[in-house]
Structure 1
Amino acid sequence: MKISILRALSVALIITVFSCSKEDPSTTLPDTEAVALDQNEPLTIPEINRIIENEIELNGDFDWNAVPELVLWSALQHADGVLTVGYGKDKDDFTINDSGRQTSSKLAIVEMVRTLEGKGRSTTDKDEDILIYEDEYLTVIDLKVLQRETIASLRRNADIRYMEPSGYSYFQTVTEKSALSDSGCGFDTEDISSNDYTTISPNARMPWNFPLHHIDDAWALSTGTGITIGVVDTGLSPNQPLLNANFNNGDSSGRTVEKYGVYVDSFWPWSRKTDGPNDKCGHGTSMSAAATAPRNNTGLPVGVAYNSNLISYRASSDVLLNGYQEQKGVAKAITDLGRRNDVHIISMSMGYIYSINRIKDAIRYAYSRDKLIFCAGGTSTSFTNFLGVVFPASMSETVAVTGIEEGSGYDECDACHKGSTIDFTIIMERGNNNHIPVLGYYSGSEDYVGGSSVATANAAGIAALVWSKNPSWSRNDVLNKLKISAELYPNRSSSYGWGNLDALKAVQ
């Protein structure tokens, strides 16, 4: 997530304000043992959230499939009834293959819901009231479900892989929504200290951490030519020419930038109109810049893979995937990038406090098509330090990256997470708390960004250098080279994985 030098933001890849403070006895939520799971009234949001929190603290994740029927049904009452259903004969049957079994399963599920929800079955309008959305490539549908009987019947269906209330938001209070509305966002510009960059030809500013990872030395062998990085984030600023019309500037040439928008800015689940590819947050612009900004002649920061192609997706309004439209947008962006043969690397510096199955399906789909997927390990404040690596960096199909402080040894950055599923680290925080210089949102501007977000974008850029040097390699070849050239290899830290990436060793 983006952290400006002013530190105006207190939330990032995951938010840290709980609905009730665990340290305040007057607001303590009821224990899960006190909830009657056979009651007829739905649980309250605080009761559901306490169950979620307890499960995360115990097992490091939360899964709607594992909760009692009452909990799932209750969540739907607070979620506009939006139920996401993953169907298929088993957990690996997540890609549509035009089989008769898949079609039959889907139609049977929709018919069951239509009947039990009492919508009738004769008109198209009423069918649309039930079937909100049908994924084009994944065995995933969104349905309108409010009846507890429907949940019970669906759970007995062997062709359902999972069900989750996509419209349910863990953060639902007025205070939380106000904080979340700008999670990770900011349009700040900062004057970069001369101590935090080196001027290189033709007149670009190289961030202070690049030499620490030998990125500048690696450029003699590779600059990312021929490799395409897809950034799934909040979009790309239309006001930063170096990421638009002047993407080929200075020593950057012969490459392309594409922009897409798949985020629907609406609370209405049936809405389909996206709000376009432009960044309305600032985070996506910063991440794209950290990975691919040109080696320019305008005196502004350069990105790691300054000759790589860029595909930017506006998939969310901010970095916390806390709503139905954001989760659907991210899943679509990852699936779209997975389908493209020219995409090599996907970089995603966003996430959530627990797993989202439709995004899992999308990541597994992209992974099956040889994409190297980098995800941020987590950025937060002290309130969520008990959490380890967040979703989707916690998945085995992703490469989890976190940020550490400059200096000897390994110390996580002030707002970064660590854990056993971290794969690599990037140095991105100085002793004076300055972070990484990147292009700003506006023409001629620059800014500092931090957290595991910028670490992830830097790591994706290093991977592009390696793949460009070895264009015939597979994803696993590239990942293995990153691993064996990292600082801690052949040892693996329980908190920092293989440690700091070394770009020069990786491209040699």
Structure 2
Amino acid sequence: MKKRILSLAIVLAMFSCSSNETLEMQEEQNELLSKKEINSIINTSLQTTGDFNWTTQSAHTIWSAVKHGENILTIGYGNSKNQFARTTETSNIKNDLIQLVHSLEKTSAKGVSELHVDEIINVIDIRVTNKETIATLLKDSRVRYIEPGGYNFLDSDNQARSEGGSGCGYGSTTLSTNDYRTVSPGARVPWSFDAHNIPAAWNYSTGAGVTVAIIDSGLSPQQKWMNQYFNDGDSSGRTVQKYGTFVDSWWAWSNSYDGVNDKCGHGTKMAAVATAPRNNDNLPVGVAYNSNLVTYRAVENVIINDYHEKRGVVEALTALANRSDVKVISMSIGSPFNIGNVSDAIKYAHSKGKMILAAGGTSTSFTTWYGVIFPASMSETVAVTGVKEGEYDKCDVCHTGSKIDFTIQMQRTNGTDNKIPVLSYYDGQANYIGGSSVATATTAGIASLVWSKNPSWSREQVLQKMKEAADFYPNKHSEYGYGNIDALKAVQ
């Protein structure tokens, strides 16, 4: 009898230990990863592979990030990885997936779980709280990717910030006379334009008939030469249009757009270097001074990290994709790694024949290891970065790598380190701007010159001409792509 009691006690003890271990494992699995732990996973992937993909992560990691991001899960769906545009077939998939999430989450289809259902690309933003929902979706063949749409990787410990605080800056300054020369009827030509033979190219093309779109932080209402004086001096017969798709709210469910006006300063400078008028007021001129301009306030600053910034960029891209007049889209903004819905929107715009130029990356010294950032890392974009004057040496804060297509000289080597003169945020004033951002907008202007000279050409023909006019063609440099473009050669 004692043996039986002892044996039973041992069994009970073993069962108790096993149960405790199981409970501890379950608790561990249900415990959220901290933002620091999630960011460590992301940084490790970026350092070892150069990219990061949420869908390759565990359900627990994704669930943790979703919980840290207002429970927003972005679902890209379709029957193949490249089925990004909405069809009747994918509309049915969308409906099925929404019903599936409702059943797994035990929520009513009449509730507010659908944050956003895109009408053009195959993307849903939906509220998810259960890890089992994420695990199920990861196994579903109709799901191309899932991402924690509200998760903000770039917190205080991961700031890939451009100079000036996320690229923002309102300042104005007196330009050094060594950094420009004056041409008729009184416009200042930045030193970098001469370095790329842009003024000589104006004898063949000024960008007339081409519309350039800038997706950025918007356009300053104060700078008259980018508004009511857009047709000034030798610039005439063109239009400027302003739109806003950014929602400035901490509340994900808000749909109140923040307007069209620049509240950062970055978007104004990018629009100016690409299209500012050839004025008679001693102000910097843009590359394509007779092109039309469309600006979108889609982001708060140059980093695409907030949920509303992602959606803002997607809405801008899809709207521009469906405009027949828009040829060139310039994006001097980005993220350290791929964003699914933005990637889909870029593919959609690319499928419509748009040339999408993207900044290779501009960071402070401790984040330059990121390499070429997204979306410049995509094959559907033309990636641009900045180099120093007269030499192939990247600018002090510029990213380089095998994904780069072109370079622009934007940092002086005359002892001043001055960048490119542009119109500033404030009316009738100027400033300097550098990095891969200004290099991208400059290249967008050159693309407009080429397309204006050859209006019947396709994107591929325009891009090929730009390559042939660059320093390294027909080869491609491992860090600088085809190199600096000779704008004169590109339009001849």
State if a TM-score over 0.5 links the two structures.
yes
Pair 1:249–1:345, CA change in 2 (3 A) = same
Q: 1:436 touches 1:449 (CA, 8 Å); kept in 2?
A: yes
Query: In structure 2, how many angstroms separate the alpha carbons of the residues matched to 1:271 and 1:257?
Result: 28
- Of the three residues 69, 85, 91, the one matched with 1:95 is 85
Instruction: Tell me if 1:342 matches 2:330.
Output: no
Q: State which of 82, 101, 106 in structure 1 corresponds to 2:72.
A: 82
Write the distance in 2 (CA, Å) between the matches of 1:371 and 1:154: 33
- Give runs of aligned pairs for residues 221-370 of structure 1, distance below 5 A: 221-370=204-353
Matches within 5 A, 1:64-143: 64-97=54-87, 99=88, 101-121=89-109, 124=110, 126=111, 129-143=112-126
The answer to whether residue 127 in structure 2 is matched with residue 144 in structure 1 is yes
Residue aligning to 2:403? 421
Report the equivalent of 2:177.
194
C-alpha displacement of 1:180: 11
Deviation by residue 1:279-335 (Cα, 9 ceiling, x = unmatched)? 000000000000000000111000000000000000000000111000110111111
Return the offset for 1:178.
Answer: 11
| Deviation sequence 1:102-126 (CA, Å, 0-9, x none) | 22211111112122222234xx3x1
- For residues 321-367 of structure 1, the C-alpha deviation after alignment (integer angstroms, 9 at most, x for no partner) is 11100011011111111110000000000000110010100000000
SS of alignment partner, residue 410 of structure 2: strand
Q: Check 1:105–1:479 CA distance in 2 against 1; reply closer, same or farther (3 A cut).
A: same
Q: Which residue of 1 aligns with 2:449?
A: 465
Q: Deviations over 1:162-190 (max 9, x none)?
A: 10001001133499699999411110001
Give the counterpart letter for 1:348 in structure 2. M
Q: Which runs of 4+ in 1 moved over 3 A?
A: 35-38, 172-182
CA contact (8 A) 1:234 1:282 kept: yes
For residue 193 of structure 1, report the CA deviation from its aligned partner: 0.4
Aligned partner (choices 456, 465, 476) of residue 481 of structure 1: 465
Q: Which amino acid aligns with 1:96?
A: R
* SS of aligned partner of 1:344: strand
Distance of 1:118 and 1:454 partners within structure 2: 49
Structure with more of its chain in helix, by fraction: 2
**Residues 77 and 362 (structure 1 numbering): CA distance in 2 closer, same or farther, change over 3 Å?**
same
Q: 1:25 maps to which residue?
A: none
Decide whether the 8 Å contact of 1:406 with 1:429 is kept in 2.
yes
Q: Would the alpha carbon gap of residues 466 and 181 (structure 1) be closer, same or farther in structure 2, given more than 3 Å must change?
A: closer
**What is the distance in 2 between the residues matched to 1:50 and 1:174?**
10
Which residue of 2 is the match for residue 494 of structure 1? 478
- The answer to whether the 8 A contact 1:37-1:70 is kept is no
Q: Which has the higher contact order (CA 8 A, sep 6+)?
A: 1
Structure 1 partner of 2:47: 57
Distance in 2 (CA, whole Å) between partners of 1:248 and 1:196 is: 25
d(CA) in 1 for partners of 2:320, 2:131: 37
Q: How has the CA–CA distance of structure 1 residues 207 and 365 changed in structure 2, closer, same or farther, with 3 Å as cutoff?
A: same
Decide whether the 8 Å contact of 2:163 with 2:363 is kept in 1: no
% identical equivalent positions: 53
2:403 alignment partner AA: T
Larger radius of gyration: 2
Q: In 2, distance between residues paired with 1:380 and 1:499?
A: 21
Alpha-carbon spacing, 1:103–1:222, altered in 2? closer, same or farther (3 Å):
same
Structure 1 vs Structure 2 CA RMSD:
1.9
Distance in 2 separating the partners of 1:375 and 1:36 = 45
Distance of 1:67 and 1:176 partners within structure 2 = 22
2:15 paired residue number: none
Structure 1 pair 179/453, CA: closer, same or farther in 2 (3 Å)?
Answer: closer
Instruction: Tell me if 1:507 matches 2:452.
Output: no
**Cα contact 1:37–1:68 (8 A) shared by 2:** no
Residue 10 of structure 2 corresponds to none
Check the 8 A contact 1:230/1:347 in 2, yes or no: yes
Does residue 214 in structure 1 map to residue 202 in structure 2?
no
**What's the secondary structure of 1:205's corresponding residue?**
strand
Residue of structure 1 in register with 2:436 after alignment? 452
Query: CA, structure 1 residues 102+181, in 2 after alignment: closer, same or farther (shift >3 Å)?
Result: farther
For 1:361, the aligned partner's letter is D
CA contact (8 A) 1:110 1:130 kept: no
- The answer to whether the 8 A contact 1:241-1:443 is kept is yes
- Once residues 177 and 388 of structure 1 are traced to their aligned partners in structure 2, the CA distance between those partners, rounded to angstroms, is 11
> Secondary structure of the residue that 1:301 maps to in structure 2?
coil
| Letter of the 2:353 counterpart | D
Are the aligned partners of 1:335 and 1:366 in contact in 2 as well (CA < 8 Å)?
yes
| Alpha-carbon distance between aligned partners in 2 of 1:156 and 1:132, rounded to the nearest angstrom | 23
State the aligned residue count: 466
For residue 171 of structure 1, what is the aligned residue in structure 2? 154
C-alpha deviation, 1:385, in angstroms: 2.2
Q: Distance in 2 between matches of 1:172 and 1:399?
A: 28
Q: Would the aligned equivalents of 1:86 and 1:141 in 2 still touch at CA under 8 Å?
A: yes
1:181/1:206 CA distance change after superposition, 3 Å: closer
Task: Name the TM-score, length of structure 1 as normaliser.
Answer: 0.89
Stretches of structure 1 lacking an aligned partner (at least 5 in a row): 1-34
Q: Is the 8 A contact 2:271 2:295 kept in 1?
A: yes
- Kept in 1, the 8 Å contact 2:385–2:399? The answer is yes
Q: Report the AA paired with residue 217 of structure 2.
A: T
Match of 1:28 in 2: none
CA distance in 2, matches of 1:495, 1:244: 38
Distance in 2 of aligned mates of 1:436 and 1:384: 23
**Deviates further, 235-244 or 177-186:** 177-186
